[in-house]
Structure 1
Amino acid sequence: MNQPDNYRFQVDLSGMINILSNHLYSSPKVFLRELLQNAVDAVTARKVLEPDFKGRVHIELAGTGSGATLMIEDNGIGLTKEEVHQFLAMIGQSSKRGKDLIMGETSFIGRFGIGLLSCFMISDEIVMLTQSAQGGPSLEWKGKPDGTYSIRELATELSPGTKVYLRCKPDCEIYYEPQNVEKWIYDYGALLPHPITLRTGQFEKVVNPASPEWIAQPELARGYRNEVLQFGERLLGERFRDFIPLQTSSGRTGGIAYVLPQAVNLHAKKKHRVYLKQMLVSDKAENILPDWAFFVKGVIWSDELQPTASREHFYENDRLEEVRAELGESIRGELIRMAEYDPDRLRHMIRLHALSMKALAVADENFYRMIHRWLPFESTYGRRELGELLEDNQNIYFTLTLDEYRQITHVASAQSLLVVNGGYIYDAELMESLPAINPEIRTERLLPEDVSLAFTDITAEERMKYFELTRLADAALRRFRCRIQLKRFKPAELPALFTLSKESSELRSLEVAEEVSPDALSSVLNSLGSILKLEGAYSTLYMNLDNPVVTRTFMPANSRIFVNTVEMLYVHALMLGQYPLNKQEMDVMNQGVLRLIQAGLAADTHRGDEDQP
C-alpha cells in the first residue's frame, strides 16, 4: 500500500494582514494595543524571575507625515534567538504559552500569537531589537509583509528588553500623529500598572497616571466622588453626576457604572468599556451588564473573562453569565441602599430612568417593595409618583392597554375615578403585583364597559321620544359595525364616547392592516375579518344627552342633517380616542365637513333672502 504524501500548509501573509485589518480588528489603531500587550506581558514574565523588578514602557515618535517613525520599548524579559524563530515566525504560536517561567496564563494579556502582525497594517516593515534577560546575544529581527524576515546578532550588547520600530506606511499618517497616539495609549493603558512614557518633538510625559486605590477596591469609590466622576468623563467623554461601584464576590471583576445624565431609548445598544488584565479590550462591549441596566455606562475591569481572537469582545459562556449576574446584583444592591439611606438621590435617578427601574422592579419583588412609592405612572390624576396616588386612594383601577385607557380617561376623570394607564411597558404588570408588596392596596383592571355602567340611563319617555332617530343613527353607522346608545354622563363637554369589545378591536386592527397590505395578505386578513363579523364584532358609540350638541342633534328640526352629524360625532369620538381612521372614515370626515359648510352657507343665503325688502 502506498504511503500518503504529507505537506505543510502555506500561509499567505499578505492575505493574513488583509484578514486582520478588514475582518478581525475593528481598526488599524489596535496595533498600539498589541504592542502594549506584548510589552506588558514581557515585563510580567521578567517579574516572575525578579519579583522586585520595576517595569516600564517607553514610546517615541520622530518625524512627521509619511516620514514618521514610532518606537516602543519595554524593559521586560526579551527574546533569545530560538524564541525569535519560534514565536515570530509561526503564525498562531504565542510566547505566552507553555514556558516554565510563567506561573499561569492569567498573568498575561495576549493569547493568540498574532499581535505583532497587526503592525503590518500601518507599516511595511517591522524592526525589532531584543536582548533576553536570560542571557545570549542581542538580536535584530526584520519582518516584511511578504512573509520574509531576517535575524542578525548585534556587536553591541543591549539592556534586557525589546524595542520595536515602525515606519509610516502610505495613507497611514493618522496613526502617527502625536495627539492620536497619546489618546490611544491612554484609552488602552489607563489601568496598566507600569508607567507608559510618550516622547514627541513637542513634549515628554507619562500618559497613564498611577491607578487609584479604588480600582482594586471599588467599594472605596464612594469616598472619592469627584475623582471617580472625572475619571469617567475622561474615559467615556461624557459628564456624569452619579455612579455605582461594581464588584463580583470573587473580587476578580470590578468597575464603575456611571449613571447616564439623560434618559435613553430602551432599545438602544448599550456599550461599555471593559479592561481585561488592565488592558482595554473593548469600548463597545454590549453583553457585560444585564439588559435592564441600560441607564448606566460601565467602565469594568476583569482578569477572568475569555476574549475572542480579536481581543475586542468576550465569549458568551457560563463565566460571563455569572459575572453579568453579579454585576447586576451590585447595581440592584446600591439602589436598595439608596432607598434606605439616600432617598432623594434615588428619586432623582428614578425620575430620569423610570423605565429601567420598572424593568428591575418587575423582575425583583424586594426591589419593587423598596422603591415603588417613587415610580411614576400616567393616570387620570396626571403623571404622578405612586406614593402620591396612594395618599388618598387604597383602590387603584388600571387598564391593560393604551386603547382601553384612551376610551375611558375622559369619563373616569370627570367622575374623579383613579385609573392608571397600564398600556406602557411594565405598568400593567406592576399594577397587578402591587397588592403582593402592600396588602393594604387593591388594584383592579378596568374595562371600557365597566365605565359605561356608571352612565345614567335615559328615561322611558326619552327612549320613546328618540326611538326613530336612534334607529336612523344605528343604520347610518351600520357600515362601520357600530351601534348607538343614548346615555347621560360626565363630563357634559364630551359629546360621544367610542368603545370596542375584544372582538371589534381585533376586527378593527385587521381592517386597518388589510388596507395597507399586498393583495395576497389582504385576502387572508379579509377572511379572518369575516369570521369576526360572523361572531358579532360590534363597537359602541355612547352619545351623551347632557351635551348640548347631542341634544340639538336629536331635535326633529335638525333631521335634515342628522345622519351627517351622527357620522361626524362618530369620527370625532374616534379621533378623541386616538384611533387611526381607515379610508372609509377619512372619507366621512372630509365629506361631512363639506356638507356642514354647504348647509351653513345655505342657511345664510336663505336668511339673506328673507331680509330683502
Structure 2
Amino acid sequence: MTPVNSFQVDLRGLVDLLSHHLYSSPRVYVRELLQNAVDAVTARRAWQTQQDAEPAAEIRIRLTASAGRVSIEDSGIGLTAEEAHSLLATIGRSSKRGGSGAVDELHGLETARQEFLGQFGIGLLACFVVARQIRVVTRSARDPKAAPVEWLATDDGSYTVRELPDEARPEPGTTVYLEARPGAEEWTAPARVEQLARDFGALLPYEITFEDGTGEAPRPITDRPAIWDRAFPTPTARRVALAGHCAQLFGFTPLDTIDLDLPVAGVRGVAYVLPEPTSPAHRSGHRVHLKGMLLTEKADNLLPDWAFFVRAVLDTDSLRPTASRENLYDDETLAAVREALGARIRAWLADLAASEPERLAAFLSVHHLGVKSLARHDPELLGLMLPWLPFETSDGSVSLEEFAAAHSDIHFTRTVEEFRQIAPIAAAHGLGVINAGYTYDADLLALLPTVRPGIKVTELDAGAVTDRLDPVPTSAELALAPFLATARTRLEAQSCDVVLRAFQPVAVPALYLDDRQARQERDRAAAEESADSLWTGILGALRGSAPRARLVLNHNNPLVRRIAELPDEALTATAVESLYGQALLMSQRPLRPADSTLLNRAFLGLLEWATHSPEAKEDRA
C-alpha cells in the first residue's frame, strides 16, 4: 500500500510569499489584527444568541502600540488549547469557514458566518510580515472551565501552547502581542499604527480605541455611522458635510455627490463627482469597505467604465474579496452590483435634466465626455441629453437639439482637421456639418436618427460640399477651359479632379476635398505600386469606381484668376501644383510620397521662375 504523506509548510517561505506577492504592503497586518478581533466579538455574540446566554458585559477592542510592540485586546469568543493548536497554526483553516464541526459548534448557523470578515484561513500568521514573535493569550467563552491559554510563535516556524493560571486572563477574550522584526519598526510606531487603524477600521461595527502607551486617554478609532447614513438638518448641510468628507478622503471638493444605495445588494455609499475633466481611459480607484473593514482604495472594477468622472466610497456585505482581501473578486455578483450602481448614476443625470438644469449644465461643462460615453449605449438617455450635450458644429458650439432644429440634413467629418478646413466654407453656404473627430461623437451621431426620426445623418463627402458651392457662369468657365484642362492633366497622377466654383471666404484660393472611398482607393493604388506581381494582381482586381478627390478652385479669389490668365503653360502647371499642395497642407491630411514629391517640385519650380523672370533680373540690375 502506498504511504500517504502530508504537505509541509516552510513558515519563512510563507511569510516571504505573503509580504512580497500576496499583500501589497506590510500595512495589512493591522487589518488582520482588527479583523480577528471583530470576528471574535461577532462569534461571541452569535454563540450567546444561540445559547440564550447572558451577553458580555462590555464589547471591548483595544489597540495599543509602543516602540517595537503592538497589542490588541478583545472581549470575543476566545479559544481553548485544542482550538489554538487547530486554528492558529494551520494554514488555510478558518474558524469562519463553513463545512466543519468547529464552525457548527462555534457559530451554529450559516447566516452567522456571513457576518465574518475572514474567509481564507491565513489570519494571524500574516502578522509575521512585520513581527518576529506573536504571542496570544486567550480564554474561551464557550467553556467556562477551560484555563487561559498562551500560544507563542516565532518566525522560524515553531510555536508552543501552554495553559496559564486563571489570573492571567480572568475574563473570556483574546489579547495578541506582536514584537517587531528588525527593520520593521516603522510599521509598529504608534502614530503609524493609529493611522492604519483609522484607515482600515473607521467603519467597523464595534467601538475600537487606541492607546499609545503614554498614559493619555484612549482615542476612538471607529467613526460610525458612516457619513452617508447620518442625519442632517437640511440637504444643504448634508451636501457640505459630504464635500468635506471627500476633501479629506480624496483631496478634492466634489462638483456634486450621488447616493449609491442598494439595500438588496447590501451596498451603501456615495460617489463624488470630480471637479475637473479626466480622460476616459483613466480608471478611477474607488474606496470599498467590506462589512466596515477597508478592503481597497483602488477598486477599478466597481463602476462601469463610462463612469470615469466619479470617485466612489462604499460599504458592502455582499461582494467577495480576493485572497489578499485587497480587491474585489470579479464575479456575477460584482457585475450585477456594477450595473445597478451605473443605473443610480444614470438616474441622477436624469433627475438633474428634469429638475435642476443649471446644475446639469455645470456638470456637462466639465464632464460631457463621460455622458457621451454613457449615451452611446442608452438611446433613452441620449434623447434626454440632446438639449444639453455640446458639439462642435459649423454653427458654433451648440447642442444636437439646436443643430437638428436648424438642419434636417446633417453632415459630419471624421477628423478634426477636415472639419476645421470645411467649417468656415460650410457655414457661409448653409451646409450643416458636425465635427465627429472627438471621442464618442461619431457613435452618437449614428444613433441620432433613432431618437429623432426624420433627421438624416451622413458622412461629409466631396460631392456634398461641391454641390453647395456657387457654380461659375458657363461663359466664364468656357473661357477658362484651357486652364482647367492643364490643371486636370497636371493632377491626374495624384488621382485628383479639378472643379471651379465660387465660394466664401474669398481668401481661400483652393479647397481639397475627398471622402472615405476616395482615400481607400488612393491607399489601394499606393499599395499596388509597391507590391510584388502576385499582390499587384490581387490589388488590381480590387480597383473600384470610387469618386476621386477634388481640388475646388475658388473663382472669387484674385490669385486663382491671375494664375488662370498666365500665358506660360509650364508656369500654369507649376502654380496649379502649388495650389494643390497648399490646399492639401491646409487639410492636414498625411502626405503620400507622391504628394511630397509634387510639393518639392512646385516649390523649386516657383523659385526657378522667380529667380529667372524679367522682373527678377531688373531687380538685380
TM-score, L = length of structure 2: 0.88
Alpha carbons of structure 1 residues 559 and 570: separation in structure 2 relative to 1, 3 Å: same
Could you tell me which amino acid in structure 1 is paired with residue 147 of structure 2?
Answer: P
1:545 aligns with 2:555: yes
Alpha carbons of structure 1 residues 5 and 84: separation in structure 2 relative to 1, 3 Å: same
> Residue 113 of structure 1 aligns with which residue?
121
For residue 216 of structure 1, report the CA deviation from its aligned partner: 8.0
1:46 maps to which of 36, 44, 47: 44
Q: Does the aligned pair in 2 maintain the 1:503–1:532 contact within 8 Å?
A: no
Q: Does the aligned pair in 2 maintain the 1:400–1:445 contact within 8 Å?
A: no
Q: Does the aligned pair in 2 maintain the 1:263–1:352 contact within 8 Å?
A: yes
Could you tell me which amino acid in structure 1 is paired with residue 95 of structure 2?
Answer: S
1:180 aligns with 2:192: yes
Structure-2 separation of matches of 1:266 and 1:513: 35
Structure-2 separation of matches of 1:437 and 1:101: 60
Decide which moves more: 15-24 or 254-263.
15-24
> Residue 37 of structure 1 aligns with which residue?
35
2:579 aligned counterpart, secondary structure: helix
Structure-2 separation of matches of 1:284 and 1:72: 27
For residue 223 of structure 1, report the CA deviation from its aligned partner: 5.8
1:7 maps to which of 5, 13, 18: 5
Q: Does the aligned pair in 1 maintain the 2:227–2:242 contact within 8 Å?
A: no
> Residue 319 of structure 1 aligns with which residue?
333
> Residue 162 of structure 1 aligns with which residue?
174
For residue 150 of structure 1, report the CA deviation from its aligned partner: 0.8
Q: Does the aligned pair in 1 maintain the 2:288–2:295 contact within 8 Å?
A: yes
Q: Does the aligned pair in 2 maintain the 1:485–1:540 contact within 8 Å?
A: yes
Could you tell me which amino acid in structure 2 is paired with residue 39 of structure 1?
Answer: A
Structure-2 separation of matches of 1:12 and 1:217: 52
Could you tell me which amino acid in structure 2 is paired with residue 607 of structure 1?
Answer: E
- Alignment identity in percent? 36
Structure-2 separation of matches of 1:585 and 1:132: 87
Structure-2 separation of matches of 1:506 and 1:572: 22
Q: Does the aligned pair in 2 maintain the 1:28–1:118 contact within 8 Å?
A: no
Could you tell me which amino acid in structure 1 is paired with residue 2 of structure 2?
Answer: P
> Residue 457 of structure 2 aligns with which residue?
444
TM-score, L = length of structure 1: 0.89
> Residue 130 of structure 2 aligns with which residue?
122
For residue 528 of structure 1, report the CA deviation from its aligned partner: 7.0
1:137 aligns with 2:141: no
1:274 aligns with 2:288: yes
Point out where structure 2 has 5 or more consecutive residues left out of the alignment: 50-54, 98-102
2:203 maps to which of 183, 191, 197: 191
Q: Does the aligned pair in 1 maintain the 2:210–2:221 contact within 8 Å?
A: yes
Equivalent residues in 2 for 1:74-93 (5 A)?
74-93=74-93
Decide which moves more: 329-338 or 443-452.
443-452
For residue 453 of structure 1, report the CA deviation from its aligned partner: 0.9
Q: Deviations over 1:145-174 (max 9, x none)?
A: 232101122233313222222222233233
Q: Deviations over 1:51-96 (max 9, x none)?
A: 6545332222212xxxx21222222222111110110121100011
Q: Deviations over 1:281-339 (max 9, x none)?
A: 11111211112111111112111112221112222222112111111111111221122
Could you tell me which amino acid in structure 2 is paired with residue 100 of structure 1?
Answer: E
1:100 aligned counterpart, secondary structure: helix
Structure-1 separation of matches of 2:618 and 2:201: 88
For residue 221 of structure 1, report the CA deviation from its aligned partner: 7.7
Q: Deviations over 1:502-543 (max 9, x none)?
A: 33212445689999xxx99x9999777655556567322111
Equivalent residues in 2 for 1:148-547 (5 A)?
148-155=158-165, 156-158=167-169, 159-200=171-212, 204-212=218-226, 214-215=228-229, 224-250=238-264, 252-389=266-403, 393=406, 395=408, 397-399=410-412, 401-402=414-415, 405=419, 408-438=422-452, 442-448=455-461, 449-508=463-522, 530-531=540-541, 535=545, 538-547=548-557
2:105 aligned counterpart, secondary structure: coil
Could you tell me which amino acid in structure 1 is paired with residue 81 of structure 2?
Answer: K
Alpha carbons of structure 1 residues 179 and 544: separation in structure 2 relative to 1, 3 Å: farther
Structure-1 separation of matches of 2:246 and 2:574: 64
Could you tell me which amino acid in structure 2 is paired with residue 411 of structure 1?
Answer: I
For residue 569 of structure 1, report the CA deviation from its aligned partner: 1.6
1:606 aligns with 2:620: no
Point out where structure 1 has 5 or more consecutive residues left out of the alignment: none
1:567 aligns with 2:580: no
For residue 210 of structure 1, report the CA deviation from its aligned partner: 2.5
2:422 aligned counterpart, secondary structure: helix
2:175 aligned counterpart, secondary structure: strand
Q: Does the aligned pair in 2 maintain the 1:190–1:209 contact within 8 Å?
A: yes
Could you tell me which amino acid in structure 2 is paired with residue 60 of structure 1?
Answer: T
Q: Does the aligned pair in 1 maintain the 2:521–2:544 contact within 8 Å?
A: no
Alpha carbons of structure 1 residues 106 and 237: separation in structure 2 relative to 1, 3 Å: farther
Alpha carbons of structure 1 residues 530 and 36: separation in structure 2 relative to 1, 3 Å: farther
Alpha carbons of structure 1 residues 106 and 223: separation in structure 2 relative to 1, 3 Å: farther
Structure-1 separation of matches of 2:177 and 2:91: 20
Could you tell me which amino acid in structure 2 is paired with residue 71 of structure 1?
Answer: S
Q: Does the aligned pair in 1 maintain the 2:41–2:75 contact within 8 Å?
A: yes
Structure-2 separation of matches of 1:356 and 1:120: 45
1:59 aligns with 2:59: no
2:259 aligned counterpart, secondary structure: strand
Could you tell me which amino acid in structure 1 is paired with residue 63 of structure 2?
Answer: I
For residue 258 of structure 1, report the CA deviation from its aligned partner: 0.8
Aligned residues: 597
CA-based RMSD of the aligned residues comes to 3.0
1:19 maps to which of 6, 17, 24: 17
